[in-house]
Structure 1
Amino acid sequence: MPRPTAKEIAELVAGRRPAYAKIGVFDIDGVFRGKHLHAEKLASGLEKGLGFCDVVLGWDSADQLYDNTAFTGWHTAYPDAAVRLLPETLRRIPFENDIPLLLAEFTGAAEAICPRGLLRRVLARAADAGYRVKAAAEFEFFVFEETPQSVRAKNYQGLKTISPGSFGYSMLRSGLYSEFYEELLSLCVDMDMELEALHTETGPGVLEGAIRVDEALVAADKAALFKTFVKVLCQRRGWMATFMAKWSRDWPGQSGHLHMSLQDAASGAPVFHDPAGWNGMSDAQRWFVGGQQALMPELLAMVACTVNSYARLIPGHWAPTQANWGFENRTCALRVIGGSPTAQRVEYRIAAADINPYIALSAAIGSGLWGIENRIEPDPAINGNAYAQPPAPGRSLPGTLTEAAARLKASAAARDLFGDAFVEHYAATREWEEREARKAITDWQLNRYFEII
């Protein structure tokens, strides 16, 4: 079904009571920032664009203002930045009386650091090389019988999940909570972010939702919206969902794996499959993996984007610890998946559920394209348990967000792929994030040092 035109959207909203739509942009941390907009303002914005306060690009996920970025800050007085509304992203929010929702992205000078704009530029590079990119995200998230008020009252300790124990792929749990499953699956259909699969994972109250494959930019929209509206749905039920990389030392981290493949832009033929290649891998797929492996240590800040991300990257918890790859090997950072020509793809397993999908996909796809452009050969594929094998030279990953940000700033490939403006701004925001974390006095520190030191 064709998407409505800008004129049709304006008329649709004007005919509602009240005559409003919602519009929003995703910030550096992947937080959805937006507002209600009157029909007349929406019509004008669809025709000529809008202004949106650029503080959205100048603060962190807690609305704390960066003090180390050049693009915006007190020194610029936080003016409006230009945004374009995107008619093709129209959705309706079913539990808000079907109010129309439109995504937007920054343009003008702000486009250089806009997460969605970043991914568009990477995909334009793919198009220039004759490729179309398909992608999909799958997210693990824990669900709690808690509210925003109760978790704060408990200081985030002793939280109650919706169900106890380890029940991976549980038909018992999915039957018990069938109403919630139906609500979630229906929401995803209604908001054009349909799931391919939904199941329980190992741990109390943890689910995994795999979003259906689509064009990469659309897939990123769906992934970012999924994270937001899963949280909305849960809180409307008196529950909470978290997409932290690791919320508890007792349970594995939460993945946000990214699947991707290339098609020939002219014919639509799969690019990654070659029946004569090892396990069906074409030269292009091998070089794509080679680029991803080579640049992973330099681009890790774009994927492991929070201080908490690095608590997940430990051996034995279904999270990779080195820049390595294997065929159908879930202990590696990169898993090549074989099968039919259309199924042949790469799973970028280093990513956790805390990713900004636009930025993480930019890193994953951009590094793969760089590998094809430079014909980068990967290391030999890992067989067996990757955790038990010593890292190959140059494949160790940064251990902290600060180290990862420094590697990003020093990366010539990152600057070529993403532009100096994005690299400088994004690296500064990650340095800020870890600086904020260092201010915290944790329970672990108090338990360890309060009496004995």
Structure 2
Amino acid sequence: MLTPQDINSVDDAKRIVSERNLSHVKIGLFDIDGVMRGKYLRKEKFFAALDKGLAFCDVVLGWDSSDQLYEGVGVEYTGWHTGYPDAPVRVLPGSCRDIPFEPGMLLFLCEFAGDAAALCPRNVLARTLERAADMGYTTHAAFEYEFFLFNETPHSVRQKNYQNLQPITPGFFGYSMLRNSVHAELYQELLDMSEAMGFPIEGLHTETGPGVIEAALVVDKAGNAADKAALFKTFTKVWAQRRDLMATFMAKWSNDYPGQSGHIHVSLRHKDDGRSAFFDPDQPLTMSDTQRHFIGGQQRYMPELLAMVASTVNAYTRLVPGFWAPTDATWGCENRTTALRLIPGSDSSQRVEYRVGPADANPYLALSAALASGLAGIAEGLEPEPMVEGNAYDQTHPGHLALPQSLSDATAIFKHSRTARSLFGDAFVDHFAASRQWEASEHRKHVSDWELQRYFEII
């Protein structure tokens, strides 16, 4: 009997479905915001899709995370003017996974094909990985996420208007053995699900704040790592809601607590012999010339590509001094106040941590930005600015390292970036920039609680 780990081809996929005598399977793909969209397919339809492909309405690339259509922002690929036709999609047999809470059911990932591939986040990353391969590198990555867990349901949070929510645990209990032992069954369920679904967790612990947890996923080849990160976020939320809990990956849900990060650890290895491209025992900090240029590129282009990483209005509430998130494109060695953290080690562990990312980022796009900027640094031989030592928040940095302070500003910089267009193509830059303009304009239409409290009576 085949297992999901054995599936590498169309024939394998058909065989495992037949062996399990399944009438239907589940398929899914990820949209611009990293939201998983999918459906059940009857066995015969799925087999035909494996052979010939299938189609999703291209509105999946033309609406926001609340299913509102991008209108009035210049989206050309899809819209009322095109009639919202179907876009071609291909099934990825090697992505086969069990779904533990649907016994016997199988999940397969998909990605857009044809013209839609230019906009598809998974394909954006695939093209970046091809660039790395052309330069002689294999790429590896690992994501780590912070998320808050609440004793709430989708109904209760709406009834409360998202106010006065009850975290699963009170107080500040970072790395708490007390908390993870009291709730051991929940932790074990999450660990077991992650193993069963093929996105194993390397480390799981409480963070500082009520109900906040951090999960570090196991390192893998970069494409697989992004799939695992996207699935982890989706099915952690599913797991929680099935237990009348809610998990949020918002960048910052409360003014009272630090934001939630989505850090990415990145490394390169030589294709020809498998050696680390970042490790050089004869250099200071064991940092090779290649890694130095990689960091130089990440640093140089971080402000221009920030919209791909901090892609929501809320993400910019996290990027403030003193809250464990960077405000400038700085780098340091084992320094968690900088945007880029060099982690020296060995051939197997030398890497850089891309710390600017929030938990709400689309994993495919955030990793694309982190990798593509570094690869550009290697290609251009870029040198990083002097390394920051000590508290980066207390120091003054060159003006060109300042990160945009809002989604609107970041989007404008991204849209006009020649580097972004060179790395990701005009079609993606134009479409993604329009989608972020829409996101920012939707925010401007609404009156916040802060505005009411500040202005309602006194002005």
TM-score above 0.5, yes or no: yes
Match for 1:383 among 371, 378, 389? 389
Aligned to 2:231: 225
Deviation sequence 1:139-173 (CA, Å, 0-9, x none): 00000000000000000000000000000000000
Counterparts of 2:8 and 2:359 in 1: how far apart (Å)?
A: 32
* Partner secondary structure for residue 96 of structure 1: coil
Is the counterpart of residue 309 in structure 1 residue 310 in structure 2? no
Counterparts of 1:342 and 1:12 in 2: how far apart (Å)?
A: 35
Counterparts of 1:55 and 1:15 in 2: how far apart (Å)?
A: 35
Match for 2:59 among 55, 60, 73? 55
* Partner secondary structure for residue 259 of structure 2: coil
Aligned to 1:451: 457
Deviation sequence 1:11-52 (CA, Å, 0-9, x none): 332455651000011000000000000000100111111111
Residue identity in the other structure for 1:53: C
Is the counterpart of residue 174 in structure 1 residue 180 in structure 2? yes
Match for 2:163 among 157, 167, 176? 157
Offset at residue 2 of structure 1 (A) = 3.6
Match for 2:48 among 31, 44, 48? 44
Counterparts of 2:335 and 2:129 in 1: how far apart (Å)?
A: 27
Structure 1: 5+ residue stretches without partners: none
Aligned to 1:398: 404
Deviation sequence 1:98-129 (CA, Å, 0-9, x none): 31000000010000000000000000000000
Counterparts of 1:92 and 1:79 in 2: how far apart (Å)?
A: 31
Counterparts of 1:160 and 1:234 in 2: how far apart (Å)?
A: 14
Match for 1:148 among 154, 166, 176? 154
The answer to whether the 8 A contact 1:146-1:238 is kept is yes
The answer to whether the 8 A contact 1:324-1:332 is kept is yes
Residue identity in the other structure for 1:404: A
The answer to whether the 8 A contact 1:27-1:56 is kept is yes
Aligned to 1:213: 219
Match for 2:339 among 313, 318, 333? 333
Residue identity in the other structure for 2:186: F
Aligned to 1:108: 114
Aligned to 1:252: 258
Counterparts of 2:11 and 2:289 in 1: how far apart (Å)?
A: 46
Aligned to 2:24: 20
Counterparts of 1:47 and 1:318 in 2: how far apart (Å)?
A: 48
* Partner secondary structure for residue 84 of structure 1: strand
Counterparts of 1:239 and 1:137 in 2: how far apart (Å)?
A: 23
Is the counterpart of residue 430 in structure 1 residue 426 in structure 2? no
Offset at residue 183 of structure 1 (A) = 0.2
Residue identity in the other structure for 1:215: K
Counterparts of 2:16 and 2:348 in 1: how far apart (Å)?
A: 38
The answer to whether the 8 A contact 2:22-2:43 is kept is no
Aligned to 1:440: 446
Offset at residue 401 of structure 1 (A) = 0.3
The answer to whether the 8 A contact 1:272-1:282 is kept is yes
Offset at residue 333 of structure 1 (A) = 0.2
Residue identity in the other structure for 1:74: W
The answer to whether the 8 A contact 1:14-1:40 is kept is no
The answer to whether the 8 A contact 1:14-1:20 is kept is no
Counterparts of 1:390 and 1:308 in 2: how far apart (Å)?
A: 25
Offset at residue 3 of structure 1 (A) = 2.5
Aligned length: 453
Aligned to 1:263: 269
Deviation sequence 1:308-366 (CA, Å, 0-9, x none): 00000011111111000000000000000011121100000000100100000000000
Is the counterpart of residue 35 in structure 1 residue 39 in structure 2? yes
Q: CA RMSD in A?
A: 0.9
Structure 2: 5+ residue stretches without partners: none
Residue identity in the other structure for 1:30: G
Counterparts of 1:418 and 1:315 in 2: how far apart (Å)?
A: 31
Deviation sequence 1:56-76 (CA, Å, 0-9, x none): 000000000001211100001
Offset at residue 266 of structure 1 (A) = 1.4
The answer to whether the 8 A contact 1:24-1:35 is kept is yes
Offset at residue 5 of structure 1 (A) = 2.8
Counterparts of 2:127 and 2:12 in 1: how far apart (Å)?
A: 28
* Partner secondary structure for residue 399 of structure 2: coil
Counterparts of 1:2 and 1:285 in 2: how far apart (Å)?
A: 35
Aligned to 1:321: 327
Match for 1:135 among 117, 136, 141? 141
Residue identity in the other structure for 2:13: I
Offset at residue 404 of structure 1 (A) = 0.4
Aligned to 1:78: 84
Deviation sequence 1:283-316 (CA, Å, 0-9, x none): 0000000000000000000000100000000111
Residue identity in the other structure for 2:187: Y
* Partner secondary structure for residue 262 of structure 2: coil
Counterparts of 1:5 and 1:430 in 2: how far apart (Å)?
A: 37
The answer to whether the 8 A contact 1:274-1:280 is kept is yes
Counterparts of 2:243 and 2:214 in 1: how far apart (Å)?
A: 19
* Partner secondary structure for residue 90 of structure 2: strand
Counterparts of 2:397 and 2:260 in 1: how far apart (Å)?
A: 23
* Partner secondary structure for residue 101 of structure 2: helix
Residue identity in the other structure for 1:177: H
Offset at residue 393 of structure 1 (A) = 2.8
Percent identity between the two aligned chains: 59
The answer to whether the 8 A contact 2:58-2:85 is kept is yes
